[in-house]
Amino acid sequence: MVGSARSRVGGSNELDNSAGRRRPWLRWGATLALGLGVVACSKKNQEKCQQALDTTRKSLKVDNIDLAHQWRARAYDYCADTGELAKLDQEIVARQKAIETERHDKEEKKAHAHELMALLVQWAGGHRAQPEAAAQTVNCGPVDADAGAPTAAKDKKPRWCTRTRTVTGDYRLAVRYREDDLEVVDFSTLSPAPVECSALGANKVMVQGPPKTYCQITGGRLQGMQALITNQPDGTHIDVFTPEYVQRDATIRSLTR
């Protein structure tokens, strides 16, 4: 019985010793598997890196900053070249600053356009009957070759005159009229931002389509006049004129059709 007990005890020790000899292998195996997992997770991929870099830059070109940041994060996951990643970050920061500057400039130009339209309405409305009093700076062309007999008023010659004035910085207002017929008059300016006929008062749009809008002004200080707004590379051209002016100016007449 004693021997049998020892045998059982001895057998138990042998099992314990055997398990003890196997445990280091188990520990080493687990450590090795964990190490391989870390290596696999941190492994860079040049193909995916290039895709992330390219897509980030494409997103910047269309000003999609949120998408650019998403692909930037992928670039950091897959790219090993820290210099290329630093360069990418510089491009993102530069584009963000450029977008902010463009946004600020756009808002500033829009504010200037709004102010300019208010000045145009006030100026044209106040001088539509007397354009020769609209500004001191004046330039008159030659007398018409087919003028015929002189007019009753010696100082009212059959010719075109233009008066100009500078307002709100470097913006200019101009009025072109017939010296011998003051009902033939056109007030104009160049806006830094797009505007609509509504900026000139109540109106009825007669022709609309890129790059022009032609309307009749039906209310406000310019009631009874017409307007032509054309978008050009140098800005938005605004002309406010009388129906009589349309009959005398071939260029305006062609644009209102």
pLDDT per residue over 53-66, tens digit each? 999 999 999 999 99
What is residue 168's predicted lDDT score, i.e. its pLDDT? 78
Tell me what pLDDT residue 15 has: 36
Mean of pLDDT values over 64-72? 97
pLDDT score, position 156 = 82
Cα 35 from chain centre: 52
Side-chain-facing half-sphere of 60: CA atoms under 13 Å:
20
pLDDT, residue 26, reads 41
Average pLDDT over residues 192-198: 96
Reply yes or no on whether the pLDDT at 48 is more than 90. Answer: yes
Model pLDDT, residue 147: 60
With CA atoms as reference, report the closest residue to 75 among 42, 43, 45.
Answer: 45
128 vs 214: CA distance, rounded Å: 19
What DSSP state is assigned to residue 158? S
252 pLDDT more than 80: yes
Q: Quickly state the pLDDT bin for 210 (edges 50, 70, 90).
A: confident
Q: What is the mean pLDDT of the chain?
A: 86
Residue 39 has pLDDT above 50, yes or no: no
- What's the number of CA atoms in the CB half-sphere (13 Å) around residue 208? 8
Query: Is the bond preceding 150 in cis, omega lying within 30 degrees of 0?
Result: no
d(CA 215, CA 195): 13
pLDDT of residue 86 exceeding 50: yes
Residue appearing with tokens 């809008």: 213
pLDDT at 150 > cutoff 70: no
| 248, pLDDT greater than 80 | yes
Helix axes 65-78 and 82-127, enclosed angle (nearest 10): 170
Q: Residues 203, 227: contact at Cβ < 8 Å?
A: yes
Q: Is the pLDDT of residue 1 over 50?
A: no
CB 140 within 8 A of CB 159: yes
Q: Contacts for 240-248 with beta carbons within 8 Å, 24 or more apart?
A: 240/120, 240/124, 240/186, 240/187, 240/188, 240/200, 241/185, 241/186, 241/187, 242/128, 242/183, 242/184, 242/185, 242/186, 244/181, 244/183, 244/184, 244/185, 245/184, 245/185, 245/186, 247/184, 248/178, 248/184
82 pLDDT above the threshold of 70:
yes
Q: 145-149, 152-156, 236-240: which has the highest mean pLDDT?
A: 236-240
- pLDDT for residue 13: 45
- pTM for the predicted model, two decimal places: 0.72
Q: What is the pLDDT of residues 118-143, one digit of tens each?
A: 999 999 999 999 999 999 999 999 99
Higher pLDDT, 241 or 21: 241
Average pLDDT of the segment spanning 218-243: 97
Q: Work out whether strand 226-232 and strand 160-167 pair parallel, antiparallel, or are unpaired.
A: unpaired
Lowest model confidence (mean pLDDT) among 5-19, 92-106, 206-220, 238-252: 5-19
